[in-house]
């Protein structure tokens, strides 16, 4: 917990394709143990564009676990492009050792603040230490963003669904 003092205020968004969700969930758990605030965004969830945009604007650092599937998924590419557009520091984790991103993803990956390759066994202590250092070393801007807490967005979306169902009943 060498970074617990600094990391308590760092909001981290982990994005991946559904194929890498287990890795992303393990990483989220490990980063929460280190006192980072984390959410995982996969290609299929949440479906709301507003919720996705809010999550990206909420985060201080954007971690992208990229793979061939990630590159082919429209939601994944929209998400990483939106983070780049908003100047969010991007950390790239390559999920496949034999995959070299190309096109827009290749350009964004080349400009990432940190790039690493997953170990064969997933997220080792070494990978976690490198990642933690990369997150803490990012300049954390004052949170003057006009963004709703992601947990509240879920509550709002659920209440909207219930109210629209009541209207049509």
| Residue listed under structure tokens 């991946």 | 16
- Break the chain into its structural domains and give their ranges: 11-164
Architecture of domain 11-164: 3-Layer(aba) Sandwich (3.40)
Q: Which pLDDT band holds residue 160 (cuts at 50, 70, 90)?
A: low
Q: Are 67 and 96 in contact (CB under 8 A)?
A: yes
Q: Rounded to an integer, what is the distance from CA 143 to the centroid of its chain?
A: 18
pLDDT number for residue 1: 44
Chain segment 113-132, per-residue pLDDT in tens: 877 777 665 666 766 766 67
Helices (H), the chain: 4-7, 21-33, 49-58, 68-72, 74-85, 103-110, 125-137, 150-168
Chain segment 80-116, per-residue pLDDT in tens: 888 899 888 888 888 888 888 888 888 888 888 877 7
pTM tops 0.85, yes or no: no
């Amino acid at each position: 917990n060498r970074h617990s003092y600094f990391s308590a205020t760092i909001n981290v968004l982990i994005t991946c394709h559904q194929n890498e969700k287990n890795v992303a969930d393990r990483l989220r758990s490990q980063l929460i143990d280190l006192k980072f605030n984390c959410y995982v965004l996969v290609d299929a969830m949440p479906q709301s564009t507003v919720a996705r945009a809010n999550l990206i604007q909420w985060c201080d650092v954007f971690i992208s676990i990229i793979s061939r599937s990630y590159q082919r998924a429209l939601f994944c590419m929209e998400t990483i492009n939106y983070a780049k557009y908003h100047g969010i520091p991007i950390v790239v984790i390559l999920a496949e050792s034999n995959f070299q991103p190309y096109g827009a993803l290749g350009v964004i990956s080349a400009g990432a603040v940190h790039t690493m390759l997953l170990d064969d066994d997933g997220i080792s202590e070494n990978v976690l230490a490198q990642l933690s250092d990369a997150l803490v070393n990012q300049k954390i801007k004052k949170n003057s963003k006009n963004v709703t807490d992601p947990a509240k967005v879920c509550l709002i979306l659920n209440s909207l669904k219930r109210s629209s169902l009541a209207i049509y009943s």
